[in-house]
Structure 1
Amino acid sequence: MLADEDLCNDINLYLQEIGNDITAEKLVSYLARDDVREKHGISQSITGQYSDGHERKDVVDYRDKVFLPRWEQIKDRIRTWTSENLPEYGPLCGKRIIVWYHDETIFYAHDRCRKNWFHKDASAKPYAKGDGHSFMIADYVSADFGWLQDIQEQANAAIDLVHELYPDYEHIFIYDNATTHLKRPDGSLSALSKRDANGKLVYNPDGSIAKEEREMEPGTHPNQFKGMATILQERGYNVDKLKAQCNKKFNCAPPALNCCCRRILFNEPDFVGVESILEKTCKERGVQVIFLPKFHCELNPIEQCWGYGKRLYRFYPESSREEDLERNALECLDKVPLESIRRSHKFMDAYSKGLDGRQAAWAARKYRGHRVLPASLMADMEKENMK
């Protein structure tokens, strides 16, 4: 593409036009403009944020069949705001729910926007080498109250805070789908740990032996794991022609439910319903946990908070001192306006209406400033050929 001199010249003019504020996203948006594509004969679509698994079948299934139904159950008890940022009042079906979104980010001491256009004969200005010191922040944010300030320990501390500060509300914590958040207690029932050969003793999460001696029926497996096939046969499954597992990585072709013994066990309610350590910790203290779908950072308003804070941070005087980094980063996050968090539900509304990732992104851009999508959405999509 860049071998085309006319296109290169137009790109150079565009970059010069936007000055210091150069980002890859702006260049992608420029190349996606209809006038630019028509002028330079660009026919191939520019790959965007939804090429990383966003529309993968298992991810979409979780989003549409697990996450969104849970959101539908609670949304009528969550406070909403008008386009003027005024709270909307209406009948409540139970105690008011406060949703707290969790995430983490890293600030770097030398994170500055340094891209610019200079004359080829201009002298180079020296800058500090590397990103400098880093400062990691993990926090919770809600559209009602803003920021809340080891995941399990942080969850317990957060529960203490929300119960102390906001005792009149029911609280829900929303986390991303990271493995650290989904970790189950050691010794939990898991289809991934079952074997098709002799097994070992089973232990409880506290380290004690769960099954030391047990009569087996038929009694041909003393102190040994029967194997997945035997367990499934005892429960009425015909597994004569099934393999133990589809491949080494257990990557069964979707939407398979009974392609191998491990997949059948994996989908059994006893295995699916095992809670993570985080869910168990919060549930014991009266707080629900909801996990976001994978690759759906647009559903977490805290991502916009990080971006807003980092944008402010880049205007602060540069310093290599760790104490300056920490103070400036926290100060910038304190300046994030609640209004930006309260417009975060457009994507959930879009997915609830059956839109895919590409259509949802289009709707979020078109109705920028709206909290939810208007009734004219489908008609507008028809006009824009977005169906």
Structure 2
Amino acid sequence: MYIDGHECEDVVAYREAFVKRWKEYERRFIIYDNDGNILSTPVGFPVPQIGRFRLILVTHDESTFYENDRQKTKWTQETEKASTEKKGEGQSVMVSEFLTPDWGRLKDGDEEARVLFKAGKNRDGYFDNDDLLAQVDTAIDIFEGKTNGFATGLFLFDNAPSHQKRAQDALSARKMPKNPHATWRHHQDGPRMRTTTFGENNTVQDFYFPDDHPTMPGWFKGMEIIIRKRGLWPEKGLNAQCEGFNPISSIRSQLSRSSSHDVAISLRYRISPKTNNIKEMEENVCNSLDDIPLIQIRRYANRAARFIDSYAQGLTGPEAAWANRKYHGHRLLPPEMAAKLKKEFLEQYNKLKTTVVSIVS
């Protein structure tokens, strides 16, 4: 487990907020044990502002597979002659996929959310935010077609930079002029910033004058006019950008029809068969991924849930990894074991530390 910087103050604060939110979501999941059987089903309780009580977890991940990345040892016939291995990684195929513990791959009949992408300058280019948004749109359509309105999808993404890109019409104070401007947009040739609301009464805040304004039709109002309307403009003025401002990402905007949060949950498998061309490689990749059984996906989801539950009980990253090894057969960490595991981990850590010091000495 990669834990460098895991206990930094900002990381811990983000983790605590996420774990708290996750625990609320988890109450609306169907829970499976490591044999793939239903362990519990959600019991109804009020959910503010949401019409669909049932929540289905849908995770996203991207993996790149290389032509020459395979096992280096294998069983062969005694008469088979050795062949020279190709140098380098070879051609690559990137797979962008959505998985759910309930069904496995996100697909409905012949329609599927999986995307194969040949990344590279002289190939398909690079999988960017626009490509992901197009895939997300397809994934939402498949999810809604499959659930037919009985559930809400909880789409989870990791914190890759392309997943955090702001929507074209997201609110942003960056580069925003102080005074009215006839043509200002946050992005050149981009759309206007979206209308928003503020205050307890959700007062509408439009950043542009109406198109029938007598002197400035369709102009951007400028920061000062916008803030003065709220009665917040001080005599000394304000900074153009406030510390801690969290703009809306384009993915969150795209998922406005469902709930969303960011988390890293990934599945990676090594592809073994040799390939002669890119088409054959794509077939091998798809066949290998399709062979992953649903029970394996559910077990991996349980492993992720154990980490989250360990954090919820106050364990650190290394302690959570230790707990996962000790209780790999459980989905959740028994509450009474948290203090015991902390003690065991500390004893093992001090023992290892003493051994290292002795060797160095």
- Whether TM exceeds 0.5 here: the answer is yes
Q: Deviations over 1:79-111 (max 9, x none)?
A: 112343310234233732111001111111110
| Deviation (angstroms), 1:115 | 8.0
User: Structure 2: how far apart are the matches of 1:185 and 1:75?
Assistant: 28
Please name the residue that 2:232 is paired with: 235
- Structure 1 residue 277: deviation in Å? 1.9
Where does residue 45 of structure 2 map in the other structure?
A: 93
Question: Would you say how many aligned residue pairs link Structure 1 and Structure 2?
Answer: 281
What is the deviation of 1:280? Answer: 1.6
Partner residue of 2:102?
Answer: 144
Question: Separation in 2 of the partners of 1:57 and 1:382?
Answer: 20
TM alignment of 1:94-243, pairs within 5 A: 95-114=53-72, 126-148=84-106, 149=113, 150-167=131-148, 168-186=150-168, 188-193=170-175, 202-203=184-185, 207-208=191-192, 210-211=207-208, 235=232
Residues 350-386 of structure 1: per-residue CA shift (max 9 Å, x gap): 1111111111111111112321112342243154143
Aligned-partner SS, 2:255: helix
Partner of 1:30: none
TM-score (norm 2): 0.67
Q: What is the alpha-carbon distance in structure 1 between the residues aligned to residue 323 and residue 235 of structure 2? A: 48
Pick the aligned partner of 1:322 from 278, 282, 298. 278
Report the secondary structure of 2:62's partner residue: strand
Answering whether residue 19 of structure 2 is matched by residue 68 of structure 1, we say yes
| Residue identity in the other structure for 2:316 | D
Higher percent of residues as strand: 2
Cα gap change, 1:332 to 1:362, in 2 (>3 Å): same
| 1:223 to 1:290, Cα distance in 2 relative to 1, 3 A | closer
State the shift of 1:155 in Å. Answer: 0.9
Q: 1:369 to 1:385 in 2, by over 3 A?
A: closer
Residue of 52, 64, 77 corresponding to 2:28: 77
Distance in 1 between residues matched to 2:2 and 2:92, nearest whole Å: 26
Contact kept? 2:176, 2:186, Cα under 8 Å: no
Q: Does 1:287 align with 2:247?
A: no
Q: Deviations over 1:322-354 (max 9, x none)?
A: 112111111111122222332231111111111
AA aligned to 2:30 is R
- Structure-1 separation of matches of 2:296 and 2:7: 26
1:181 Cα deviation after fit: 1.8
Gaps (5+ residues) in structure 1?
1-47, 117-123, 215-221, 245-260
SS in 2 for 1:104: strand
Cα distance between partner residues in 2 of 1:145 and 1:166: 11
Secondary structure of residue in 2 paired with 1:50: coil
The answer to whether structure 1 residue 370 and structure 2 residue 352 are counterparts is no
- 8 Å contact from structure 2 (residues 58, 155) kept in 1: yes
Q: Distance in 2 between matches of 1:192 and 1:207?
A: 15
- Secondary structure, in 3 states, of the residue corresponding to 1:372? coil
Is the CA contact (8 Å cut-off) linking 1:105 and 1:137 kept in structure 2? yes
Aligned partner (choices 293, 312, 316) of residue 352 of structure 1:
312
TM-score (norm 1): 0.62
Q: Provide the C-alpha distance between the structure 1 equivalents of 2:292 and 2:159, rounded to a whole number of angstroms.
A: 25
**Residue 185 of structure 1: how far off its partner (Å):** 2.5
Cα 1:339–1:238 shift into 2, 3 Å? farther
Q: Matches of 2:233 and 2:222 in 1, distance apart?
A: 21
CA distance in 2, matches of 1:71, 1:373: 15
Q: Distance in 2 between matches of 1:131 and 1:277?
A: 33
Using the alignment, how far apart are the partners of 2:63 and 2:308 within structure 1? 23
Amino acid at match of 2:243: F
Q: Which amino acid in structure 1 is aligned with residue 2 of structure 2?
A: Q
How far apart, CA to CA, are the structure 2 residues paired with 1:136 and 1:180?
Answer: 15
327-336 or 175-184, which deviates more: 175-184
Determine the C-alpha separation between the residues in 2 that align with 1:170 and 1:287: 6
Which residue type is aligned with residue 255 of structure 2?
C
Which stretches in structure 2 are left out of the alignment for 5+ residues? 47-52, 75-81, 107-112, 114-130, 194-206, 214-219, 348-361
How many Å apart are 1:54 and its aligned residue? Answer: 2.7
